[in-house]
Structure 1
Amino acid sequence: MTSIAKPPVRHPSSRTNGLGLTIRDYEGAMSTLCAGCGHDSVTAAIVQAGWELDLEPHRVGKMSGIGCSSKTTAYFMKQSHGFNSVHGRMPSVTSGAAAANRALTYIGVSGDGDSLSIGLGQLSHAIRRNVNMLYMLENNGVYGLTKGQFSASADIGSMSKKGEANEQSPIDPVLLALTLGATFVARSFSGDKKQLVPIIKAGLSHKGFAIIDVISPCVSFNDHEGSTKSYAFTREHEVEAVHADFVPLQREITVAETDEEVRTVVMHDGASVRLRATAGDYDPTNRESAYSHVRACQARGEIATGLLFVDENGKEMHDYLRTPASPLVDVPYEKLCPGSSALDKLMERFR
């Protein structure tokens, strides 16, 4: 099914950001996903974050692979650049695009099937290279586009819509990212826009690879009783690491102090979530404690959410490659291809 363009209607009283753009200017085509799909809520959060950060849509590169999740890029920032790659290859295509034009802001959208099965090696090396991009992993535990088979992120014991239980151990993208040295690791829930928007803003502002694992229920194949990726299960088992907020200009991010171990939070849709606070000494800059926290939550049957780890001093891909400050797309052809004599001199260095 092809996407349908939204009518360019702009209400005269609509609020504008620093660029004079309304939030409608950050939207894309009308979604063709199932009604209630968590991916559409992720799209709304990306739209909100881009508008609040004053991102120039024409300076954004939207990258995706294959699957329901990879249709998301059609639904935001219609005036931006975009590339829909083959299954699992979005990270390497984004690496190449970022190498050629470092001036763009890259947003990669993928799913658990696209990222953790055929694309697992691609994801691993994008983390290793610390490609300067935001990687949104819309995680629903199934292959929704091909009728609900378990994906590599399905939890042991999670029930399929047909009543079958998954018996294989899942790949946790958060633990994977922490292990491979990712410099920004977060997890959120598609139904918690209040938490998700500031995390996306922080990820977009991070220098390096920022991965956000978003539990995004599939209403057609994985939102039933017994599923561990459903709306009900996630709301009942979510544990927020720290209250997340994003303040631009690198100002300090503060957390409201409270003595309550369990807080009841009313969501934007009226539902309530009970969140257990972590220890007061939780440090999102400590990779080992972040890993231990996620594992401890798993052992209790809980889902760790929030900004779990960040390293603001890591080198990104261009630092390692020592590329010029000017994007390669702006470098004159004569410098990019100086001729055979320059190649001969270069080869002499390796003899």
Structure 2
Amino acid sequence: MSYLKSRFRHPESAKNDLGYTKANYEGALSTLCAGCGHDSISNSIINACFELSLEPHKIAKMSGIGCSSKTPAYFLSNSHGFNSVHGRMPSVTTGANMANRDLVYVGISGDGDTASIGMGQFMHLVRRNINMVYIVMNNGVYGLTKGQDSATADVGSASKKGVPNMYEPMDLCELAISLGSGYVARSFSGDKDQLVPLIKGAIKHNGFALIDCISPCVTFNNNNGSTKSYEWVRDHKEATGTFDLVPHEQEIKVQDPEQLHESVKLHDGSVINLHRQPGSLDIKCRESVLSALEEAKQSGQVLTGLLHLNSDSQNTHEIINTSKRPLNTMDEADLCPGNDLLQAFNQSLR
């Protein structure tokens, strides 16, 4: 058996606006368990970047520790990458973003890396509104350490160890909304048609964008007692609506006139085209979304789709008024204010 990934691609493979095929956005052969939901999310990231015609060398993929944090090796092999220590991806990404604001930052984390050891850093990343996409591959267990319940496991949910979880779960979407995130979504690794547009919208959003993606662990948490299994999520998934990201230069077409239509314009001119049934939640209202999430939780449903959007949010650079030029393009003359300014500043503090 060969573990080398074939380099053969069909000579007539589809190309994007840059002339690239999907092969330009792929990575190494996955070593995760066969059928792992994380691989499906990796494939959705590849599709999203390909369809948006992003230049791979202008993308930085960041991660921490865990099964999820291994996945950046499996996509965007031509992009920058940094695999940090457990739970510390937010601070590393913050530093990188401050140094070079021109890159697209895609952070990959897990429910342990985010909701446990990395919770403190995650919360400050959200409130600072760092311009990045933060994808949580949420399987409810610690897969690398043999399947203990994570902080996102639902009460009564049982992994293959067979012991139901006794503690209340953390809802990362509710937390991100309450902390002011302007783009919050939840999806399922097995729902590519929903996940790809969500990733595209998150990339185009100005500021912090969270996608909490339920991703079943086929080894430790895909049994009948788990609320993170493929079967349970498919049976209990309720979508807020079908939608797509429509590039600004393309015509917006409503497929079904009977549905309510709302176009939300983002900062770069792109539009998220929503198709929602009457009476659905107001994604612009935090209170409405938080209430809908709690109602879904009480009824045993997983509310998926674009949950909250604030297209007027300001990212960290706009909040603190940083230089338009990335720090890594500046030399000593740009960065050193000079002795006169330094003395004046020191005097102002005396």
TM-score norm. by structure 2 comes to 0.91
Query: For the residues of structure 2 that align with 1:180 and 1:53, how far apart are their CA atoms?
Result: 29
Deviation at 1:8, TM superposition (A): 3.1
Aligned to 2:71: 72
- Judge conservation of contact 2:147–2:221 (CA < 8 Å) in 1: yes
Instruction: Name the counterpart of 1:124.
Output: 123
Secondary structure of residue in 2 paired with 1:110: strand
1:299 Cα deviation from its structure 2 partner = 0.6
Secondary structure of 2:232's counterpart equals: helix
Cα distance between partner residues in 2 of 1:309 and 1:343: 44
2:101 paired residue number = 102
Q: Cα offset for 1:332? A: 1.8
Give the Cα–Cα distance (whole angstroms) in 2 for the partners of residues 70 and 185 of structure 1: 20
Letter in 2 for 1:247: V
Find the residue that maps to 2:53 and give its secondary structure: coil
Cα separation, 1, equivalents of 2:342 and 2:115 = 39
| Alignment-mate amino acid for residue 188 of structure 2 | F
The change in CA–CA distance for 1:229 and 1:281 in structure 2 (over 3 A counts) is closer
How far, CA to CA, are the matches of 2:280 and 2:67 in structure 1?
A: 39
Give the root-mean-square deviation of aligned CA atoms: 1.8
Confirm or deny that 1:58 pairs with 2:57.
yes
CA contact (8 A) 2:147 2:161 kept: no
More deviation in 287-296 or 37-46? 287-296
Give distance in 2, aligned partners of 1:147 and 1:158: 16
Q: Secondary structure at the match of 1:298?
A: helix
2:349 aligned with 1:347, yes or no?
A: no
Q: CA deviation at 1:284?
A: 1.2
SS at match of 2:173: helix
Structure 2 distance, partners of 1:10, 1:183, is 39
Q: 1:284 corresponds to which residue?
A: 283
User: Could you say which residue in structure 1 is the equivalent of 2:175?
Assistant: 176
Alpha-carbon offset, residue 5 of structure 1: 5.8
What displacement does 1:344 show? 2.8
The alpha-carbon deviation at position 349 of structure 1 amounts to 2.8
State the partner residue of 1:267. none
Alignment CA distance shift 1:171-1:254 (3 Å):
farther
Residues 37-96 of structure 1, C-alpha deviations (whole Å, 9 max, x = no match): 000000000000000000000000000000000011111111110000000010111011
Aligned to 1:157: 156
Question: Aligned equivalents of 1:67 and 1:299: distance in 2?
Answer: 30
- Counterparts of 1:1-351 in structure 2, within 5 Å, are 6-249=5-248, 256=256, 279-339=278-338, 341-351=340-350
SS at match of 1:177: helix
Aligned mates of 2:294, 2:256 — CA distance in 1 = 25
| Alignment size in residue pairs | 331
Alignment check: 8 A CA contact 1:62 1:82 kept: yes
Q: What is the CA-CA distance between 1:160 and the residue it aligns to?
A: 2.0
For 1:202, the aligned partner's letter is G
SS in structure 1 at match of 2:41: helix
Deviation at 1:225, TM superposition (A): 0.7
CA contact under 8 A between 2:159 and 2:222: conserved in structure 1?
Answer: no
